[in-house]
Amino acid sequence: MSQEVGRGSENHSDSTPYSFGGSWTPSAVELERRIARKARGRKNSLVAAASSILVLGTLATIVVTSPGWKNLSDTFFKWAYGFEVLPKIILGFGANVFLTVIAATSVAIFGLILALVRTSRSPAITPFRILATIYVDVFRGIPMLLIILLVGFGIPALRLKGVTNNVFILGICAVIITYSAYVAEVIRSGILTVHPSQRAAARSLGLSNFQTLRYVVLPQALRRVTPPLLNDLVSLIKDTGLVSILGVTDAIRAAQIASSRSFNYTPYVMAAGIFLLVTIPLTRYTDRTLRKSIDRQNAQGLA
């Protein structure tokens, strides 16, 4: 098609000017472009399918034809045994869920308080701000496994009166201590991304510092950090498995007990499957929230 056709001028010649959407039919140029696009689309999906079959097929062949495959599938994928111990693992996973719920709630509260203290400029808060900064730096910098060990074995060793020796509670505490530091930083970054002009607008309406935070800054900040917070929730679910080293019977510990009894690793695979059953939908959901929030921000334009 040559350029003389113009940009759809033939469509508008017989209809009234400025009437959009009414009796529009695609022009010959557009129809030709659509055919070309469709052809390219077909070619692309053909290439994608061929390369997927080639790559995945090769990988599968390499794994299945390897000399140790028979052995490996016996130790890791003995499904009959796997399903036999599945109820115990699911029961253990209940502990992970319980840990997650309690920890997530406490972390949300404690993390928010830490973030607020760190972003506050009030002079009365100064000592707390210093403490909060130290807290966040220290607990973000230590591997969580170490904190679980230190809390789980260290606190009972102190033999303090009235302090629990229950490994379950100590495990939860260790998880809360670590994750609060992460979450505080995420929330703080959200608070810092709210433009100062929003604060100025709220203050000039007569809202107090606290009211500005409560009604203007925090709602925007939390909305922006929802995707990273959901990411942290996924990590939290997985990391609750670490408390198994204290002897808490969660999914991992249950799998460990089952596999040590039979020298078969299928229970671990079953435990992995159960974690995935929860984490994959949550990850997909996180992705969708992230995409939505990006769309919303892009649509916002100036403001």
Partner 1 sequence: MSIPVLALEKVRKAFGSEVVLEDISITVPEHTATVFIGASGSGKSTLLRCINLLEQIDDGVIRLDGADITDPSVDPDEIRRKLGMVFQSFNLFPHMSVVENIILAPMRVHSKSREEAISEALELLDRFGLCEKAEQYPDRLSGGQQQRVAIIRSLAVKPRLLLLDEITSALDPVLVNEVLSTVRDLKEHGMTMLLATHEMGFAKQVADEVCFLERGRILEWGKPEEILENPKKPQTQEFLKRVHEAGRL
Binding site for partner 1 (CB under 8 A): 197-198, 200-208, 211, 215-216, 219-220, 223, 296, 299-303
Those residues whose C-beta lies under 8 Å from the C-beta of residue 79, and which sit 6 or more positions away, are 266
Least distance in Å: CB of 120 to partner 1? 17
Comparing CB distances to partner 1, the nearer of 42 and 296 is 296
Convert 157-187 to b/e letters by CB count within 10 Å (16 or more is b): eeeeeeeeeebbbbbbbbbbbbbbbbbbbbb
Is 75 in contact with 151 (CB distance < 8 Å)? no
Instruction: Label residues 2-28 b or e (16+ Cβ within 10 Å = b).
Output: eeeeeeeeeeeeeeeeeeeeeeeeebe
In the bound complex, what is the minimum distance in angstroms from residue 51's beta carbon to partner 1? Answer: 41
The minimum distance between CB 213 and partner 1, in angstroms, equals 12
**In whole angstroms, how close is the CB of 300 to partner 1 at the nearest point?**
5
User: Number of C-alpha atoms within 13 angstroms, CB side, residue 140?
Assistant: 14
Closest to partner 1 by CB, 67 or 196:
196
Residue 22 near residue 15, CB atoms below 8 Å: yes
What is the separation of C-alpha 276 from the centre of its chain, rounded to a whole number of angstroms? 13
Q: How far is the CB of 200 from partner 1 (least distance, A)?
A: 6
Number of residues that make up the chain: 303
- In 3D space, the residue among 241, 280, 120 whose CA is nearest the CA of residue 184 turns out to be 120
Residue with Cβ nearer partner 1 (16 or 197)? 197
- Considering the complex, state which of residue 136 and residue 229 has its C-beta at the smaller distance from partner 1: 229
Nearest approach, Cβ of residue 217 and partner 1 (Å): 10
Nearer to partner 1 among residue 23 and residue 204 (C-beta): 204
Closer of 207 and 290 to partner 1 (Cβ): 207
Question: Alpha-carbon distance 207 to 278, whole Å?
Answer: 43
* Nearest-angstrom CA–CA distance, 199 and 216: 7
